[in-house]
Structures are given as structure tokens and as C-alpha cells.
Amino acid sequence: MSSAPIRSLTSLLGNCLRQAVKTSYALFRIIVPIAIGVRLLELTGVIELLGQVLAPVMALVGLPGSMGLVWATTLVTNIYGGMVVFAGVAPGAGLTVAQVTVLATMMLIAHAIPVEASIARQAGTSFRAMAALRIIGALVAGLLLNLAYTLTATLQQPNQALWTPPPRDPSWLGWATGEVRNLVYIFLIILALLILMRLLERLGILKGLTRLLRPVLTLLGISDRAAPLAIIGMTLGLTYGGGLIIQEARAGQLSRHDVFCTLALLGICHSFIEDTLLMVVIGGHLSGTLAGRTLFALLVTWLIARLLRRLPETARDRWFFGRQS
């Protein structure tokens, strides 16, 4: 039996392993210091203060002020952190399914901003532009959903969560153990994604998928080269899709227009499977968390693509693009 296929497979695995280490290192340089900073913000009560600031904003989207702490925790930490806070305050809030869907959709659009906007920045976008896009986008989506549910009188029945997350270990050891476990998961998933992408590329499946999605992606200002990365980010999450985008951007494979439009799409609509299911178990309805979020993401990305084409280069550089580190 020829050893050529074995050598080819060994070469592929070796290249993917080196790329996974390089990509993960770039991500961990962002994630680790920010995770420590977020932990300190939690311990010093800053997140709780932010929740109080956001309480009046919640009224704009038809939610009680207590949900401000839920969204504040989600914005600074992640969806899991927001779910833990939600489990503590929701039982006494008398929320309807419509209200939980509004909150859940806002959590899906805007969460883990310090980490995820920093990842987007490493790919060459502006941190403040990405952070503003997701926070303002979440509020606009919340307003539109609340209006739609109110006018149609739908999903007004009392909410019943399907699952309550277990309490987190508040100790430093428990926190550190969880963070290390997350980093290991990230590395393994990135490695698996790189191997999968190379295999799909060799089999010609990526070309076929890109060809199928080309009309929609072209409308959104996303090139064929960025299409597989957009698909990965939308299905698995911004951390993984963003990590691969950083790699491609630094290799000069993606234009800045591509990077921004792709990350704009992923910022609003990523992790279709895991994150959406998490919101379903707390009571969020798919009409908002999946259908509404997807349509909103497509509309916003289309508008951004048109705006970027019309703006002079100096304005794009100042407001949308950042320096790659």
C-alpha cells in the first residue's frame, strides 16, 4: 500500500495543529486578561451597578427593571452568567413568554462584549464600532419584537422555564477551573474546525456550499473567501469563527470590507445551535431567538455593506476599521 495518503494526512494534521496553536494563542491573549478583569468587576459590584443603570432602559423594551441586571451580566460576562442571574430574579418578576423572548434575543445579540469585540478588533475592526453595533442592535431588536408581540397580542401567557442552571462556584479555584476548561474546549474545537475545513476544501464541498449561498452573501457584501468562516461562526459561535477570521485576515486573504461585514453578521447572529437552545430552555420563543434574530442580522448587514460602499475611505478607517495587533 502506498504511503502517500498517510504522508498527506500527516501533513494535513501537522499543519492544522500548528495553525490551531497559533490561532488559539491569539485568542487566549485576548480572553485570559479580559476574563480576569471581568472577574474583578463581578467581585467589586460594578456589574450590579451597571444593572441599575440599565433598569430604566428595560422599560423601553417592555421589561421590568430587574432584567437590567440580567442583561448587564450577560453583556460583561456571557450567556451562562446571564442565565444564572435570570434564574434568581425571574420567578418573582411575572414574565410572559413574549417578555422572555425579547430579553433572550437581546442576550443572544449582545453578550460577552469585552471578549468578543476584542476578538473582532484583532481581525481589523474597530472595538467601539462592533460593541456599539451589538448593544444598539440588541436594543433595536428588542424594541421591534416587543412592538410586534404587543400589537399582535401573541405569546402573552406566563413564562415557564424548562431548566434552571446550577449555581456557579463563587471561589477563585472554581472560577479558574472553569476558565481553564473553557480554554481547552476552545483549542480542541478550533483544531477540529481547521481539520474539517481542510477536508471539506479537498472534497470540493466548500465550493459547492459557497456557490449555493453566493447570492445571499453577495447581497450582504461578503465574498466567497469569507463564506465558510461566516457559516462556521453562525453555526458554532463568534469565538471560533472569529479566530479563523483573524487567521485569514492576517494572511491577507480577506479584505477589510469582508472582515467587517462578516463580523457584523456574526456579531448579531452566531451560534445558531447552542446559544439558541440555551434561550429556549429559559422560555425564549424561536420566533424571536432564531427567526427574528436571523432576519434582523441579514437586514443590518445589508445596510452596513451599503453604508461602507458609500462612505469615503477616511470615514471608514476612522469609524469602522481598527488596527490589527
Does a structural domain hold residue 325?
A: no
In a domain? residue 43: yes
In a domain? residue 167: no
Inside any domain, residue 324: no
* Residue 31 maps to a domain: yes
What pLDDT, on the 0 to 100 scale, is given for residue 87? 85
In a domain, 157, yes or no: yes
What is the count of structural domains for the chain? 1
Q: Determine the structural domain holding residue 132 and report its residue range.
A: 4-161+173-319
The pLDDT value recorded for residue 80 is 84
pLDDT in tens, the chain (325 residues): 456 667 777 877 888 888 888 878 877 887 888 888 888 888 888 888 989 999 999 999 999 999 999 999 999 988 888 888 898 888 888 999 999 999 999 999 999 999 888 888 888 899 999 999 999 999 999 999 999 999 999 999 999 888 766 677 778 888 899 888 888 887 887 788 778 777 777 777 767 766 777 778 777 878 777 877 887 778 777 777 777 788 787 777 888 888 899 899 999 998 887 789 889 989 999 999 999 999 999 999 999 999 998 988 888 888 898 654 4
User: What is the reported pLDDT for 258?
Assistant: 87
Confirm whether 168 is domain-assigned. no
| Set of cell numbers at residue 26 | 491569539
The residue assigned the cell 421589561 is: 63
pLDDT at 325: 46
The answer to whether the CB of 162 falls within 8 A of the CB of 283 is yes
Query: How much is the pLDDT for 1?
Result: 46
Identify whether 258 is part of a domain.
yes
Q: What is the pLDDT of residue 206?
A: 64
Phi, psi of 14 (to 5 degrees): -65, -45
